Amino acid sequence: MALKMVKGSIDRMFDKNLQDLVRGIRNPKEDEAKYISQCIDEIKQELKQDNIAVKANAVCKLTYLQMLGYDISWAAFNIIEVMSASKFTFKRIGYLAASQCFHEGTDVIMLTTNQIRKDLSSPSQYDTGVALTGLSCFVTPDLARDLANDIMTLMSHTKPYIRKKAVLIMYKVFLKYPESLRPAFPRLKEKLEDPDPGVQSAAVNVICELARRNPKNYLSLAPLFFKLMTSSTNNWVLIKIIKLFGALTPLEPRLGKKLIEPLTNLIHSTSAMSLLYECVNTVIAVLISLSSGMPNHSASIQLCVQKLRILIEDSDQNLKYLGLLAMSKILRTHPKSVQAHKDLVLQCLDDKDESIRLRALDLLYGMVSKKNLMEIVKKLMTHVDKAEGTTYRDELLTKIIDICSQSNYQHITNFEWYISILVELTRLEGTRHGHLIAAQMLDVAIRVKAIRRFAVSQMSTLLDSAHLVASSTQRSGICEVLYAAAWICGEFSEHLQEPQQTLEAMLRPKVTTLPGHIQAVYVQNVVKLYAAILQQKEQAADAQAAQEVTQLLVERLPQFVQSADLEAQERASCILQLVKHVQKLQARDVPVAEEVSALFAGELNPVAPKAQKKVPVPEGLDLDAWINEPLSDSESEDEKPKAIFHDEEPRHAKQRPPEADEQELARRREARKQEQANNPFYIKSSPSPQKRYQDAPGVDHIPVVQIDLSVPLKVPGMPMSDQYVKLEEERRHRQRLEKDKRKRKKRERERRGARRHTSLHTESDEDITPAQRVDIVTEEMPENALPSDEDDKDPNDPYRALDIDLDKPLADSEKLPVQKHRDAETSKSPERQDVTVVEKKSKKPKRKEKKQKEKEREKKKKKEAEKGVDLDFWLSTTPPAATPAPEEPGVNAAVTAPKEEPRGEEQDAGEDVEQDLEKKPSEQKKKKHKKDKGERSKDKKRPKKRAPPREGDAEPVQNGALCEEPLPPMSSYSLLAENSYIKMTYDVQGSLQKDSQVTVSMVLENQSSSFLKNMELNVLDSLNARLARPEGSSVHDGVPVPFQLPPGISNEAQFVFTIQSIVTAQKLKGTLSFIAKNDEGSTHEKLDFKLHFTCTSYLVTTPCYSDAFAKLLESGDLSMSSVKVDGISMSFQNLLAKICFHHHFSVVERVDSCASMYSRSIQGHHVCLLVKKGEKSVSVDGKCSDSTLLSNVLEEMKETLAKC
């Protein structure tokens, strides 16, 4: 007892399970980091053990630690080991760990390919499921390529659980391996109509995700989705579908028209907020797409806006947020309908929640007009003052600037007001956006000529009070505005009232505390100012004053010469020398003003940000060619860093000599063109006339009201901008009165007594005239600028690769890579073999086939056109939201109509094949009543039981198109039993994982008009072979078939058999019992069958290399046997293909008419063959580790060959 306890505690010590680990981590007494490192050490020990249970436990703990943020990539290999455990509970742990920590960079991931493939094809749905789930997290392009075909097969699995997962993971596969999209798409489309809602929803999800990225390829699915939308009651699915329509409508406005009604119905009826929100969103998208062609949807807009208003007014903050978000989408196209709710939006600015305030701000951006801009900005300014938290204040600041500057200052009627707003914003404490304000100041001052005088006066005050701004330097970037202020004062110094005062302000010692780049601008602009002052003084003949200014500069400039900033220092020393020179000249009474100001002559024009990029490369210029062979590094001058270039640009422009007269210009034009051609960096300085800014139409003949600037602007206790608001209001009022007066007079004169218009005071934007001539200079572009905008595209977008036309039929080259060897399959139908052989051969296309393909291509083109027509038909004729009946033709047309064509083709193809094969007797005719659905489900295991073309007659087009793929194309299914109710075909497959199990796939097809249910399969077990039954059931119990069969439907069930000895073939008797139910009632029916397990069904195709093969033969422990078959006319190539297919061999080597082949049984017997073809005969010599098996296999082979 005591010993047991001790042993138990030792065990536990070594085997700390996950619970213990979690408990330990949660235990507050322990030091977590120490505890975990101790645990990791233990885990490392555990991983070294051979016991898989211990390993799994260790990996499980590691997964938990990984989630807590510990790196476990070192255990990747152990994870793979656990993944390959045969027990499900361990396997699951392994896959979970892999899904958590594997990624594309994990190098061991390639080792998993075969393991995953094995698990995917496992008979247990849970193994498959766990593999799929794991794979979805770490699929790499390689894995995707190798496993795409397996996953595609799983999309038609009998279990919805697997189908669902397979469909979902296909999305990841598409992303990693875009080539798989087209081959897999038809099947994905099928899944949209899967009977299981889960699978259906998964398919909807995948297609929606795909379609949202590249909507145009999915337009043809619109009718199908429309049907789903009107029939589905699952909100999640509805949301996805509606979202998808939102992506499709911009491409097809007619679709939008069709959608409006069902969507508005949904909006009215649904109680789910998420669905309502999605509907509103999509309606908005629809309206946007319609807005060009169909203006008559104001009712829908109103409905949306109303609903959104309800959302916004809701007390639930989430709804409020979403309402504002959606509102901003409407705003883009229908600003009028949103503007009516301005009050609501402004109210949201006071909300407690920052994200709501930000959304409201976004909305304001679109709501401003000339009329309300000032008012809104005023409101925002009060918020700026109130706002706590710098982030929100900064956001407000940027929004104010955004709102004002949007579309080229479109809404600003009074720039003086705007400048004063900017100046007020500089008083904000702690903002990070000084550079933004500065940029605005510069932009406005440069581009609005009329404002320069005012701007300069404001800037000079700003410079004067620089100590206020600079005092907060350390904390913020607001001092950036000084950069703008200094530059504006310098550049437009002619407008300065008191240049001397400004100059002194700029030379204060305090300036040296500013950041370097600002000092540099100060220095540069001090000289500009100086030049202006000199000019002024010299004109006034005040030599004394001029010398004083020079003296001031000479005294103050040295402080910049000592600046830590290189740029400032360099400029300062340069200028200091210049000024000293001027001083000397002045001492000799030489007039210098002219020359000094010539340094800065010329007009500055704004240049578009992309201008540089858009300069076209002139013909014949090779930018990569060396102009001179590189001698020194001097060439590097050409590649100046951008910032420097930008800084210097103004100087370039300035230093250009003043423009000469017109003639001079004309004379130089040729020379300049020459120069331009040679200089790709040249930017033309004079604005091209056609690009001059045009304000709103008619702006030229609006009388420009000049505001008298001498009006005293200072009203005590009122911020500057407010005064402008007042002034502006007065101005507008005056204007309005005048206009009204004029109108009234007119009216009275002309039509007295006619109907009178009430003169409402609703002025539209156009009525408001700007206070100044808004002479906004457009940004310049170089001549012949390239219109291209290719810089907008992101080459790294993973979804671009998925932009694939899905309606185009599959081409020969498009196929999913298939594993070279196939799982075991047998066939007893000789007619079908022929087809395979030919298809295999078709890799070397014959001329005939080529012709055939061309024909097909033409037909397919036609088909595509038809498809387009179908969509048109659906969109134009069907009334929206009508009963499904009128939709039928459309839906069917899109999906089924193209079927007609390929039927013919395939028949052709089939006939060709037959000609090639000396006209084999045709096989059983296709039954007419077999409908697509039956075919489709029958086709589930396609790679393994490819239907021959003949049978493909009635197949849906997708499958027909797929015929061209060299997927394993032969059906190895053979008839098991048949009666008037049901037809059973089956196939036996062995797998290398389980050495004593084979899987029997049984296709059950309902041939009657009754509904078949309660199907149960029972087999009389033999000593050697046994049906695997669910746990707890006796040998006499049957195994239920997991589905029911409506009339005309077929489905596939899989049963696992345990086999002890595989060396002999055997037969098992069995019965299928079921209840057939029709209108007259239900009857209990039975069908007996005999399952035949051939020896070849235990063989599994396994590739073998020739050297390994030779070694195997040399080893000598193989017994030998041989057979010979006469009367064979088939070509050797076909013969080999046949053996490969039906007997699961692979060709090791082939020389002329002799080939060595290899296969392996599920229990590991090696089977080696030497096949020789003589005149009309074939001899097969075999070697195998078991002689009975060999002779049986050869017997079976002889039978097959005899049919050739």
Measured from the CB atom, is 63 or 525 closer to other proteins? Answer: 63
Contact 724, 416 (CB under 8 A): yes
Residue 328 Cβ, how far from other proteins at the closest point, in Å? 13
Which position among 243, 370, 556, 950 is part of the footprint of other proteins (CB under 8 A)?
243
Measured from the CB atom, is 356 or 1041 closer to other proteins? Answer: 356
Binding to other proteins, residues 1022-1041 (CB under 8 A): none
For 715-781, the three-class secondary structure string (H helix, E strand, C coil) is: CCCCCHHHHHHHHHHHHHHHHHHHHHHHHHHHHHHHCCCCCCCCCCCCCCHHHCCCCCCCCECCCEC
Residue 430 Cβ, how far from other proteins at the closest point, in Å? 19
Residue 609 Cβ, how far from other proteins at the closest point, in Å? 23
Measured from the CB atom, is 235 or 372 closer to other proteins? Answer: 235
Contact flag: residue 139 with other proteins (CB under 8 A)? no
Measured from the CB atom, is 105 or 787 closer to other proteins? Answer: 105
Which of the 8 DSSP states describes residue 846?
A: -
Please identify, among the stretches 235-243, 631-639, 746-754, 1021-1029, the one whose residues bind other proteins according to the rule CB under 8 A: 235-243
At CA 55, angle to CA 54 and CA 61, rounded to 5? 95
Measured from the CB atom, is 105 or 717 closer to other proteins? Answer: 105
Binding to other proteins, residues 848-907 (CB under 8 A): none
Residue 167 Cβ, how far from other proteins at the closest point, in Å? 8
Which position among 6, 10, 18, 566 is part of the footprint of other proteins (CB under 8 A)?
18
Contact flag: residue 310 with other proteins (CB under 8 A)? no
Binding to other proteins, residues 65-124 (CB under 8 A): 66-71, 73, 93, 96, 101, 103-105
914 contact partners, CB below 8 Å, separation of at least 6: 834, 920, 922
Residue 395 Cβ, how far from other proteins at the closest point, in Å? 11
CA 614 to CA 620: how far, in whole Å? Answer: 17
CA 97 to CA 78: how far, in whole Å? Answer: 10
At CA 509, angle to CA 503 and CA 510, rounded to 5? 100
Contact 568, 631 (CB under 8 A): no
CB atoms within 10 A of CB 81: 18
Contact flag: residue 24 with other proteins (CB under 8 A)? no
Contact 1157, 1140 (CB under 8 A): yes
Residue 15 Cβ, how far from other proteins at the closest point, in Å? 16
Contact flag: residue 236 with other proteins (CB under 8 A)? yes
Which position among 47, 60, 305, 894 is part of the footprint of other proteins (CB under 8 A)?
60
Measured from the CB atom, is 97 or 549 closer to other proteins? Answer: 97
In Å, what is the CA distance from 543 to each residue of 556, 585, 626, 861? 20, 12, 55, 90
Measured from the CB atom, is 330 or 503 closer to other proteins? Answer: 330
Amino acid present at 854: E
CA 477 to CA 301: how far, in whole Å? Answer: 44
Torsion of CA 763, 765, 766, 772, to 10 degrees: 110
Place of tokens 């600002």: 518
Contact 832, 910 (CB under 8 A): no
Binding to other proteins, residues 257-276 (CB under 8 A): 272-275
Measured from the CB atom, is 391 or 876 closer to other proteins? Answer: 391
Question: Chain-centre distance of CA 1006, in angstroms?
Answer: 44
At CA 1158, angle to CA 1155 and CA 1162, rounded to 5? 160
CA 652 to CA 604: how far, in whole Å? Answer: 10
Please identify, among the stretches 234-242, 296-304, 1031-1039, 1184-1192, the one whose residues bind other proteins according to the rule CB under 8 A: 234-242
CA 682 to CA 22: how far, in whole Å? Answer: 69
Which position among 298, 318, 391, 678 is part of the footprint of other proteins (CB under 8 A)?
318
The alpha-helical segments, DSSP class H, found in 774-917 are 830-841, 847-877, 884-896, 900-916
Which position among 56, 98, 143, 202 is part of the footprint of other proteins (CB under 8 A)?
202
Which position among 43, 64, 258, 982 is part of the footprint of other proteins (CB under 8 A)?
64
Binding to other proteins, residues 700-719 (CB under 8 A): none
195 contact partners, CB below 8 Å, separation of at least 6: none
Contact flag: residue 309 with other proteins (CB under 8 A)? no
Residue 211 Cβ, how far from other proteins at the closest point, in Å? 12
Binding to other proteins, residues 335-394 (CB under 8 A): 352-356, 358
Residue 101 Cβ, how far from other proteins at the closest point, in Å? 8
Residue 354 Cβ, how far from other proteins at the closest point, in Å? 7
Measured from the CB atom, is 170 or 894 closer to other proteins? Answer: 170
Both tokens of 716, joined, read 């005590």
Please identify, among the stretches 197-205, 773-781, 1134-1142, 1191-1199, the one whose residues bind other proteins according to the rule CB under 8 A: 197-205
Residue 353 Cβ, how far from other proteins at the closest point, in Å? 4
In Å, what is the CA distance from 18 to each residue of 39, 48, 65, 95? 11, 18, 10, 16
Residue 820 Cβ, how far from other proteins at the closest point, in Å? 31
For 76-127, the three-class secondary structure string (H helix, E strand, C coil) is: HHHHHHHHCCCCHHHHHHHHHHHHHHCCCCCHHHHHHHHHHHHHHCCCCHHH
Please identify, among the stretches 41-49, 203-211, 520-528, 737-745, the one whose residues bind other proteins according to the rule CB under 8 A: 203-211
The residue count for the chain: 1204
Which position among 148, 151, 204, 824 is part of the footprint of other proteins (CB under 8 A)?
204
Contact flag: residue 398 with other proteins (CB under 8 A)? no
Contact 972, 1142 (CB under 8 A): yes
Which position among 205, 535, 1006, 1051 is part of the footprint of other proteins (CB under 8 A)?
205
Residue 329 Cβ, how far from other proteins at the closest point, in Å? 12
Residue 31 Cβ, how far from other proteins at the closest point, in Å? 15
Which residues partner with 1077 through β-bridges? 1011, 1082
The alpha-helical segments, DSSP class H, found in 426-565 are 434-447, 452-464, 466-471, 480-491, 499-506, 516-539, 543-556, 558-561
Binding to other proteins, residues 152-171 (CB under 8 A): 164-165, 168
- Window 208-227: contact mask with other proteins (x via CB under 8 A): -x--x---------------
Q: For 196, phi and psi rounded to 5 degrees?
A: -85, 125
Please identify, among the stretches 130-138, 661-669, 1109-1117, 1175-1183, the one whose residues bind other proteins according to the rule CB under 8 A: 130-138
476: left (phi over 0), alpha (psi -120 to 50) or beta: beta
Contact 912, 936 (CB under 8 A): no
Contact flag: residue 298 with other proteins (CB under 8 A)? no
Measured from the CB atom, is 169 or 1171 closer to other proteins? Answer: 169
Residue 8 Cβ, how far from other proteins at the closest point, in Å? 22
Q: For 1052, phi and psi rounded to 5 degrees?
A: -120, 135
For 814-833, the three-class secondary structure string (H helix, E strand, C coil) is: CCCCCCCCCCCCCCCCHHHH
Measured from the CB atom, is 212 or 933 closer to other proteins? Answer: 212
Which position among 201, 502, 971, 999 is part of the footprint of other proteins (CB under 8 A)?
201
- How many positions of this chain bind other proteins (CB under 8 A)? 55
Which position among 113, 115, 125, 133 is part of the footprint of other proteins (CB under 8 A)?
133
Residue 320 Cβ, how far from other proteins at the closest point, in Å? 7
- What residue ranges bind other proteins (CB under 8 A)? 18-19, 22, 26, 60, 64, 66-71, 73, 93, 96, 101, 103-105, 133, 136-137, 164-165, 168, 198, 201-202, 204-205, 209, 212, 235-236, 239, 243, 272-275, 277-278, 281, 317-322, 352-356, 358
